[in-house]
């Protein structure tokens, strides 16, 4: 299940979440969590501005929604799909929630913690290491972010 084609439709859902973040002035990052069967059990978008919450990253919001949906914090065999490479906080949340894989779109050379600056999810010192699928619809994810930051400069 690691082919990037497998993850295009879920990434499109994450991109829709990212676009929705624009309405609140948040950085357009979106995420979805898929159950082992592939159904969406959690969605999230950046809400740091909307909720005045420094932890209001798309991944955290989606993981919280997924855990509430299944009634358990362990998201065993689930997949986190996110438009931008997770930061250290979100990569740590992915590890701690026990997701089976992290799928992301664009790389984040400034704060990425799934291979760019750090590689939290594959750190052998941790008790769980999810599979990583990178670069799914990366151009679309990057364009959305580039447009947002161009408008805010």
Q: Active-site residues: which are they?
A: 59
Question: Is residue 19 exposed (0-12), middle (13-18) or buried (19+ Cβ within 10 Å)?
Answer: middle
Rounded Cα distance between 109 and 116, Å, is 6
Backbone angles phi, psi at 72, to 5 degrees: -160, 145
Determine the distance from the C-alpha atom of residue 75 to the mean position of all C-alpha atoms in its chain, rounded to a whole number: 14
116-146: b (≥16 Cβ within 10 Å) or e: ebeebbbeeeeeeebebbbebbbebbbebbe
Establish whether 78 is an annotated binding residue. Answer: no
Report the candidate in 119, 112, 118, 121 with the shortest Cα–Cα distance to residue 141.
Answer: 112
- Extract the annotated binding site for Zn(2+): 57, 87, 90
Binding-site residues, in ranges, read 57, 87, 90
């Amino acid at each position: 299940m690691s082919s990037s084609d497998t993850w295009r439709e879920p990434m499109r859902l994450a991109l829709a979440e990212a676009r929705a973040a624009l309405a609140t002035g948040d950085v357009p990052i979106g995420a979805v969590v898929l159950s082992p069967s592939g159904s969406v059990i959690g969605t999230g978008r950046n809400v740091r501005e909307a909720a005045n919450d420094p932890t209001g990253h798309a991944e955290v919001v989606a993981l919280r929604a997924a855990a509430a949906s299944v009634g358990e914090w362990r998201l065993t065999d689930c997949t986190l799909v996110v438009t931008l490479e997770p930061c250290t906080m979100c990569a740590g949340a992915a590890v701690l929630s026990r997701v089976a894989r992290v799928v992301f779109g664009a790389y984040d050379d400034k704060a990425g913690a799934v291979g760019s600056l750090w590689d939290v999810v594959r750190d052998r010192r941790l008790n769980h290491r999810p599979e990583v699928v990178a670069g799914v619809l990366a151009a679309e994810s990057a364009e959305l972010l580039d447009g947002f930051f161009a408008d805010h400069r």
